[in-house]
């Protein structure tokens, strides 16, 4: 007998008796691997159900200290697959490339002009953006002129005219090449192709048919040639193309491609444009470049390099801007449908991840070191997982508690910070003596105050008197009273150091002083390393001598120290070059 | 008087005891599979699908009639668990011992369960089943007990067994201990 009580789900959700207290951490520290040694950017990480087993994997392009770029797939707490990549990717995304069952997701890697597709952790398809045609003038120049210097000169003129970035790839290569290599390069290019390779700057995905999570997504690619392409992964063809006013360096897409969509593009000149149903519109010009941007409920959020978080509507009206405590490294949306919230997570240059609900700070995840990349979404069986990679390559996985709550009036640092008036001191109990004393103070307060003032004034007077006294009878200190002159005689290798000491003080008679030397034993040999100073009478110069033999033909430094039980005076002697070495 | 007779008859095994047990644990830990094994009747479901809300199953084990509330472990349905705490006589907590990532989540859920006012003052047995012991990367029951800090549970009888719901291994021992605990307690009606 089986009864399924779906009806019980209709209970109103807020009736939970378990509520998280305000100070409690809403995140569970599930896993931390300091030895993961991962280096990547937030654009190169993604979460997806790659094997249609309802166990979401973590995909990232690890730059591997610049030696070997690898595509890594994490399952749970361990690495499950590793694929080498030939070039450094600019973006990694996970999408469904077809509508077949079971729903096996594909990994899309954008790198240079190529879009690589992996399925089941194996290479599946390679798509290359068609190269751009360049001006016919360039081809003529290449065909007519065979001398390298001449060609470079004409290409330089051409680049001034049409811009270096509009030249074809061979021309660009030639101009950037060392002059000695140019001739060989030209001779190897017998057939010149006036085409320019595309370079993908950024990539985004957009659902194609429906809003569901498992829908096929189209891939939006922006290139260095100020173009925007829409690629259909079902057929691996470009289905749309847009010319942009400038190079797009950051984009975010929302909606459904075949129904209604909106793409927000951040240009390299700081402009923000939107693309809605094939119509490009100018939104606004940012005062400072956007580090990342996202669309939440028809609002555009940008984290800028001037440490601000901004919110605009699609028409460019600014709703608000808040100051971030530090420079942002990345910003992303963290949708929490069970709380009906979409938070904005910003990782900051000096550590910490701040979570904002609109303009309100709702939580700060403190981190020991700056977080370089992060991603939020479904991981493993867990709905709300935050995966972050720190500067040292540490992989950290945090899971959101089921009972988590975020409050707009969150104050960072309240948990560990005790207000000064709340600090409790260990005050001992009032003794009988204390009570008597306080009683006496209350009764004779006037007398006590007068007496206190009198003694206070007399103490100040005493201090002033002794100060004046000290000014008049000031004695020179011992250090000033001793004068030192150090002389070096000879050309080397044997030299003589003469130290002349003179006692200038009339009252003090220094005793038990010694002269010693600090020197490099490899360079010099000092025959009498310690010289006793006789009792020094005021005004008479005492001369102390020692022989020095140079061990090497290098000019060094010898420090002369006058010591008693402490160092009293030092003098540094720059030794002259030695004329020769005695064997 | 009638209470006396019912106790007496129970003592001689004349009357069937009936207990209400709730089965909790994270999603995909194997709760429904364990229940279908415990039912041990012919109509075993070959395909177990993720439970929505909860399923109620009745079966008999050693003269004890179990009413098993097989709760859904999905995050969005876990809030239902606590509604059944009040009337339950025992708890079976199923842990996926191969899911190292969510061990901390399971621990968190256990803490919420133990702190719940409907359970905190009651001495009811908790049976922990470290399921999926057949998986290669599975943690041992001792390690799980340590990770969960089970030794801190002083006011409730508990025991942890490593089980495999696919083969039924370890399940017999677990349910035997559990039935014993339930019979000792003054829970039959």
User: pLDDT digit string (tens) for A261-271?
Assistant: 999 999 999 99
B172 catalytic? Reply is no
Chain B residues with CB under 8 Å of A380 CB are 99, 101-102
3-state secondary structure of A555: coil
Query: What is the band of A418 on the pLDDT scale with cuts at 50, 70, 90?
Result: low
Q: What is the pLDDT of residue A410?
A: 82
pLDDT score recorded for residue A517? 92
* Mode of pairing for the β-strands spanning A541-550 and A395-400: unpaired
CB proximity A402 to B under 8 Å: yes
In chain A, the residue whose alpha carbon lies closest to the alpha carbon of B115 is: A18
Mean pLDDT, chain B, as a whole number? 83
Helices assigned H by DSSP within chain B: 2-11, 31-39, 103-115, 117-120, 141-148, 171-184
Q: Would you call A381 an interface residue with chain B, using a CB distance cutoff of 8 Å? A: yes
- In this structure, of A113-127, A325-339, A402-416, B74-88, the range with the lowest mean pLDDT score is A402-416
**Which pLDDT band, with edges at 50, 70 and 90, does A11 fall under?**
very low
Better pLDDT: B151 or A414: B151
**What span, in angstroms and rounded, lies between the C-alpha atoms of A512 and A534?**
7
Which pLDDT score is estimated for A10?
39
Higher pLDDT, A14 or A243: A243
Share of chain A above pLDDT 90, in %: 41
Predicted pLDDT at A574: 86
All domains of chain B in start order, with CATH: 17-184 (3.40.50.300)
A2 pLDDT tier (thresholds 50, 70, 90): very low
Nearest-CB residue to A17 (from B52, B78, B82) = B82
List of chain B residues whose C-beta atoms are within 8 Å of the C-beta of residue A379: 101
From the list B56, B77, B103, the residue facing A3 with the nearest CB is B56
Distance between CA A575 and CA A567 in Å, rounded?
22
Contact (Cβ atoms closer than 8 angstroms) between residue A38 and residue A406: no
Report the C-alpha gap between B187 and B180 in whole angstroms.
12
Q: For residues A124 and A176, which has the higher predicted lDDT (pLDDT)?
A: A124
Check residue A535 and give its pLDDT. Answer: 85
Q: Per-residue confidence at A429, pLDDT binned at 50, 70, 90? A: confident
Instruction: Report pLDDT for B187.
Output: 44
Out of B55, B75, B80, name the one closest to residue A3 (CB). Answer: B55
Q: A278 to chain B nearest CA, in Å?
A: 39
- Asked if pLDDT for residue A5 goes beyond 70, the answer is no
Q: To 5 degrees, how large is the angle CA A198–CA A134–CA A112?
A: 10
Q: Mark yes or no for CB contact B99/A76 under 8 Å.
A: yes
Would you call B76 and A3 a contact, using CB atoms and an 8 Å cutoff?
no
Q: Can you state the angle between helices A136-144 and A169-176, rounded to 10 degrees?
A: 50
Q: Which residue of B has its CA nearest to A77?
A: B101
Band of pLDDT at residue B9, cut at 50, 70 and 90: low
> What does the DSSP 8-state code read for residue A26?
S
Nearest CA in chain A to B104: A30
Q: Which of B56, B101, B112 sits opposite A31 (nearest CB)?
A: B101
Interatomic CA distance for residues A183 and A191, integer angstroms: 15
Identify the residue among A30, A57, A338, A400 best suited for mutation to test binding to B, counting B beta carbons within 10 A and taking the highest: A30
Of A18, A28, A402, nearest to B104 by CB-CB distance is: A28
CB contacts < 8 Å between A and B, how many?
A: 86
Cβ separation A382–B105 shorter than 8 A: yes
Answer yes or no: is pLDDT of A225 > 70: yes
pLDDT tens digits, A547-575: 988 888 788 888 999 888 888 888 888 88
- Closest partner residue to A16 (CB to CB) among B79, B103, B105 is B79
Residue A172 to residue A161: CA distance in whole angstroms: 14
**From the list B28, B101, B108, which residue is nearest A76 (CB)?**
B101
Instruction: Name the catalytic one among B63, B74, B172, B184.
Output: B74
Q: Which residues of A touch B82 (CB under 8 A)?
A: 16-18
B76 vs A17: CB contact, 8 Å cut-off?
no
- Phi, psi values for residue A429, rounded to 5°: -65, 150
Question: Cα-flanking dihedrals φ and ψ of residue A438, to 5°?
Answer: -65, -35
CB neighbour class for B22 (10 Å; exposed up to 12, middle 13-18, buried from 19): buried
Q: What is the pLDDT of residue A504?
A: 79
CA distance B86 to B116: 10
Pick the residue from chain A with its C-alpha nearest to B55. Answer: A4
pLDDT in tens, B111-154: 999 989 888 888 899 999 999 999 888 899 899 999 898 888 88
Q: What is the mean pLDDT of chain A?
A: 85
Q: Do B80 and A8 touch (CB under 8 A)?
A: yes
Q: Is the predicted pLDDT of residue A180 greater than 50, yes or no?
A: yes
Full-model pTM: 0.70
A55 vs chain B: nearest CA distance in angstroms? 10
Interface of B with A in 51-90 (CB under 8 A): 52-58, 75-80, 82-83
Determine the length of chain B: 189
Q: What is the predicted pLDDT for the residue at B1? A: 45
CB of B8 within 8 Å of a chain A CB? The answer is no
CA dist list (Å): A158 to A135, A177, A187: 10, 17, 21
Are A147 and A208 spatial neighbours (Cβ–Cβ below 8 Å)?
no
User: Across residues B172-181, what is the average pLDDT?
Assistant: 89
Residues of B in contact with A58 (CB under 8 A): none
Q: Which of A38, A57, A222, A66 is nearest to A129 (CA)?
A: A222
* C-alpha distances out from residue A303 to A144, A309, A391, A518, Å: 51, 5, 20, 59
Q: Which residue of B has its CA nearest to A8?
A: B53
Ordered structural domains, chain A, with CATH? 132-196 (no CATH), 481-574 (2.60.40.10)
Q: Report pLDDT digits (tens) over A143-154.
A: 777 677 777 888
**Per-residue pLDDT tens digits for B24-51:** 999 988 898 888 888 875 555 567 888 8
Residues in chain A: 583
Q: Which of A117-131, A251-265, A561-575 has the lowest mean pLDDT?
A: A561-575
Going by C-beta distance under 8 Å and a sequence separation of 6 or more, which residues neighbour residue A445? none
Q: Do B102 and A8 touch (CB under 8 A)?
A: no
Contact A16 B58 (CB under 8 A): no
Contacts of B99 in chain A (CB under 8 A): 76, 380-381
Spatial contact of A362 and A410, defined as CB atoms under 8 Å apart: yes
Nearest chain B residue to A11 by CA: give it: B80
| A348: pLDDT strictly greater than 70 | yes
ipTM: 0.84
Distance from CA of B109 to the nearest CA of A (A): 9
Optimal mutation site among B105, B109, B120, interface A, most CBs of chain A within 10 A: B105
Residues in chain B with CB shorter than 8 Å from the CB of A16 are: 79, 82
> Which one of A402, A403, A404 makes the best mutation probe of the B interface by having the most chain B beta carbons within 10 Å?
A402
CA distance A181 to A107: 39
> Residue A212, SS3?
coil
Q: How far off is chain A from B108, nearest CA to CA, in Å?
A: 8
Contact residues on chain A for B79, CB-CB shorter than 8 A: 13, 16, 402
Contacts of B100 in chain A (CB under 8 A): 31, 76-77
Query: What digits encode the pLDDT tens for the residues A28-56?
Result: 999 999 988 899 999 999 999 988 888 89
* CB-closest option in A5, A379, A399 to B53: A5
Which chain A residues are closer than 8 Å to B39 by Cβ?
none
């Amino acid at each position: 007998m089986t009864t399924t009580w779906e009806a019980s789900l209709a209970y109103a959700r807020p009736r939970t008796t378990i509520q998280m207290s305000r100070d409690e951490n809403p995140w569970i520290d599930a896993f931390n691997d300091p030895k993961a040694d991962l280096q990547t950017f937030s654009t190169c990480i993604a979460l997806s159900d790659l094997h249609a087993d309802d166990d979401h994997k973590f995909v990232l392009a690890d730059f591997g200290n610049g030696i070997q770029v690898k595509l890594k797939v994490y399952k749970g707490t361990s690495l499950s697959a590793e694929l080498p990549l030939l070039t450094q990717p600019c973006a990694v995304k996970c999408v469904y490339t077809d509508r077949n069952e079971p729903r096996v997701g594909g990994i899309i890697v954008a790198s240079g002009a190529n879009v690589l597709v992996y399925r089941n952790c194996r290479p599946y398809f390679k798509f290359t953006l068609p190269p751009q045609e360049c001006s016919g003038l360039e081809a003529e120049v290449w065909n007519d002129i065979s001398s390298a210097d001449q060609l470079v000169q004409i290409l330089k003129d051409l680049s001034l005219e049409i811009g270096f970035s509009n030249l074809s790839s061979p021309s660009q290569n030639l101009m950037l090449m060392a002059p000695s290599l140019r001739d060989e390069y030209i001779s190897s290019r017998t057939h010149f192709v006036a085409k320019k390779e595309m370079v993908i700057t950024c990539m985004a995905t957009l659902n194609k048919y429906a809003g569901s999570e498992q829908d096929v997504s189209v891939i939006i690619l922006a290139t260095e040639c100020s173009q925007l392409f829409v690629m259909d992964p079902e057929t691996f063809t470009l289905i749309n193309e847009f010319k942009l006013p400038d190079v797009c360096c950051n984009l975010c897409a929302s909606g459904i491609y075949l129904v209604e969509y909106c793409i927000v593009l951040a240009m390299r000149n700081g402009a923000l444009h939107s693309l809605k149903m094939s119509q490009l519109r100018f939104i606004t010009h940012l005062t400072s470049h956007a580090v990342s941007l996202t669309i939440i409920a028809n609002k555009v959020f940008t984290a800028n390099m001037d440490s601000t978080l901004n919110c605009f509507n699609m028409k460019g009206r600014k709703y608000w801007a808040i100051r971030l405590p530090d420079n942002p490294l990345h910003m992303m949306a963290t949708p929490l449908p069970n709380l009906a919230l979409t938070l904005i997570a910003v990782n900051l240059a000096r550590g910490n991840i701040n979570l904002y609900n609109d303009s309100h700070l709702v939580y700060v995840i403190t981190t020991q070191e700056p977080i370089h990349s992060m991603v939020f979404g479904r991981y493993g069986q867990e709905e709300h997982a935050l995966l972050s990679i720190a500067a040292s390559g540490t992989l950290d996985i945090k899971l959101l508690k089921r009972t988590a709550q975020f409050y707009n009036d969150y104050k960072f640092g309240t948990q560990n910070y005790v207000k000064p008036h709340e600090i409790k001191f260990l005050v001992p109990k009032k003794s009988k003596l204390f009570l008597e004393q306080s009683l006496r103070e209350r009764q004779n307060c006037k007398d006590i105050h007068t007496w206190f003032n009198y003694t206070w004034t007399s103490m100040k007077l005493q201090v002033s008197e002794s100060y004046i006294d000290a000014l008049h009878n000031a004695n020179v200190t011992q250090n000033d009273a001793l004068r030192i002159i150090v002389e070096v005689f000879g050309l080397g290798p044997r030299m003589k150091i003469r130290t002349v000491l003179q006692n200038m003080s009339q009252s003090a008679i220094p005793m038990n002083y010694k002269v010693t030397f600090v020197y490099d034993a490899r360079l010099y040999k000092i025959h009498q390393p310690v010289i006793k100073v006789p009792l020094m009478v005021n005004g008479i110069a005492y001369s102390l001598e020692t022989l020095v033999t140079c061990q090497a033909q290098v000019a060094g430094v010898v420090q002369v120290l006058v010591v008693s039980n402490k160092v009293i005076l030092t003098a540094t002697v720059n030794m002259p070059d030695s004329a020769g070495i005695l064997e | 008087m009638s209470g006396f007779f019912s106790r007496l008859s129970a003592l001689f095994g004349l009357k069937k005891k009936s207990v209400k047990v709730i089965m909790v644990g994270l999603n995909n830990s194997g709760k429904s599979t364990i229940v279908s094994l415990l039912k041990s009747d012919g109509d075993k479901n070959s395909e177990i699908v993720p439970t929505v809300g909860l399923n109620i199953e009745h079966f008999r084990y050693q003269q004890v009639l179990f009413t098993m509330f097989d709760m859904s472990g999905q995050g969005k349905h876990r809030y239902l668990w606590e509604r059944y705490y009040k009337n339950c006589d025992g708890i079976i907590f199923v842990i996926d011992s191969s899911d190292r990532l969510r061990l901390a989540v399971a621990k968190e859920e256990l803490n919420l369960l133990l702190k719940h006012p409907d359970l905190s003052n009651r001495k009811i047995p908790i049976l922990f089943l470290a399921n999926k012991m057949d998986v290669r990367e599975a943690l041992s029951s001792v390690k799980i007990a340590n990770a969960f800090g089970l030794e801190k549970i002083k006011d409730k009888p508990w025991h942890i067994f490593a089980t495999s719901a696919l083969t039924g291994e370890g399940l017999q021992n677990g349910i035997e201990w559990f039935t014993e605990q339930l019979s000792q307690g003054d829970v039959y009606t």
